[in-house]
């Protein structure tokens, strides 16, 4: 699906103003759940504004990325990701990897909303990078806390929109064990020859992405790539495979990718909501009246399958379920 040329159209992703929903306004909530339902049945992508996340925190999180990715390679490699781990630093530019790897550097870490894990992000960064990353660690800890809170509110909205009640999915993701990824895409002299992030569906449950103003996120809808234009102080939200299974296939997890450009570095912050490890992914019974699309599984089972068998031209969730 990564045929050239790059997309010249953009996707009309609905923008949901969350203010009314978050303050409990029933009319605004009904309208928001209707818009979410339409978008999630079609492609699983929508935007949220007035989400309650401090814009200062978002800009601090972007500045900390400049700080980390501006280090020398050997400094960044102190956090080098190990094979089969989802956490740590990766780079397409170290020469150790295959040239087909995407054109980017990433730093990923685990976030836990469980009691007693209130400093897991901060501790990880200080452990990997030393005390000079204490401040960045604190900022990413706060950012992930805000993402976890926002994703639980969005879970309420998804529950309402699917007619299973406000708390159904919210309760399921309390104590979530999630992943945060910082994506850093340097300019590329031949942007048409590569991709920043290759085409994939997120295996996780819900992604909350903040992209800077450069733009480059694309979604495949009706066999065509469409740009998702950046909006200030707005998050891109999308359904992942785990939530697609939880909704018994009613809500879609959709292929997306990121392209690069020849002049500007692009950055994005992706928070991937995941259930805690032992939770059984099984749709609520109201959504299974006409049968089941997928067997029960736990998130680590799907993660392991995706890491071992991922192919851009394959529907991972379907392959995992068959």
Q: Rounded to an integer, what distance in angstroms lies between the CA atom of residue 40 and that of residue 161?
A: 10
3-state SS, residue 103: coil
Smallest separation (angstroms) from ligand AKG to the CB of 185: 7
Residues annotated as catalytic (active site), given as ranges? 266
In the complex, the residues that contact ligand AKG under the rule CB under 6 A are 181, 183, 197, 202, 209, 211, 216-217, 256, 258, 268, 270
Q: Which residue lies nearer to ligand AKG by CB, 76 or 181?
A: 181
Smallest separation (angstroms) from ligand AKG to the CB of 270: 4
Q: Which residue lies nearer to ligand AKG by CB, 160 or 237?
A: 237
Q: Which residue lies nearer to ligand AKG by CB, 102 or 159?
A: 102
Smallest separation (angstroms) from ligand AKG to the CB of 256: 6
Q: Which residue lies nearer to ligand AKG by CB, 37 or 256?
A: 256
DSSP 133: G
Smallest separation (angstroms) from ligand AKG to the CB of 31: 27
């Amino acid at each position: 699906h990564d045929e050239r040329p790059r997309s010249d159209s953009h996707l009309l992703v609905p923008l949901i103003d969350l203010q009314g929903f978050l303050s409990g306004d029933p009319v605004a909530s009904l309208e928001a759940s209707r818009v979410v339902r339409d978008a999630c049945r079609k492609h699983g992508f929508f935007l949220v504004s007035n989400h309650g996340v401090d814009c200062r925190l978002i800009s601090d999180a972007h500045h900390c990325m400049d700080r980390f990715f501006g280090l020398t390679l050997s400094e960044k490699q102190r956090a080098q990701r190990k094979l089969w781990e989802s956490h740590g630093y990766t780079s397409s530019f170290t020469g150790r990897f295959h040239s087909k790897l995407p054109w980017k550097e990433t730093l990923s870490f685990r976030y836990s909303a469980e009691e007693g894990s209130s400093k897991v992000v901060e501790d990880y960064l200080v452990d990997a990078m030393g005390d000079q990353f204490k401040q960045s660690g604190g900022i990413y800890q706060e950012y992930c806390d805000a993402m976890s809170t926002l994703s639980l509110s969005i879970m309420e909205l998804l529950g309402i929109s699917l007619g299973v009640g406000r708390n159904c999915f919210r309760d399921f993701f309390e104590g979530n064990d999630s992943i945060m990824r910082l994506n850093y895409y340097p300019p590329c002299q031949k942007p048409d020859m590569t991709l920043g992030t290759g085409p994939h569906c997120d295996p996780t449950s819900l992604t909350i992405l903040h992209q800077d103003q450069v733009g480059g996120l694309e979604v495949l809808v009706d066999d065509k790539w469409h740009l998702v234009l950046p909006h200030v102080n707005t998050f891109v939200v999308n359904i992942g495979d785990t939530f697609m299974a939880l909704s018994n296939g009613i809500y879609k997890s959709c292929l997306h990718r990121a392209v690069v450009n020849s002049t500007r570095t692009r950055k994005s912050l992706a928070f991937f909501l995941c259930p805690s490890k032992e939770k059984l992914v099984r749709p609520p019974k109201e959504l299974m009246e006409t049968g089941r699309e997928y067997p029960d599984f736990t998130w680590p089972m799907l993660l392991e399958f995706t890491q071992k068998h991922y192919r851009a031209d394959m529907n991972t969730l379907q392959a995992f379920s068959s």
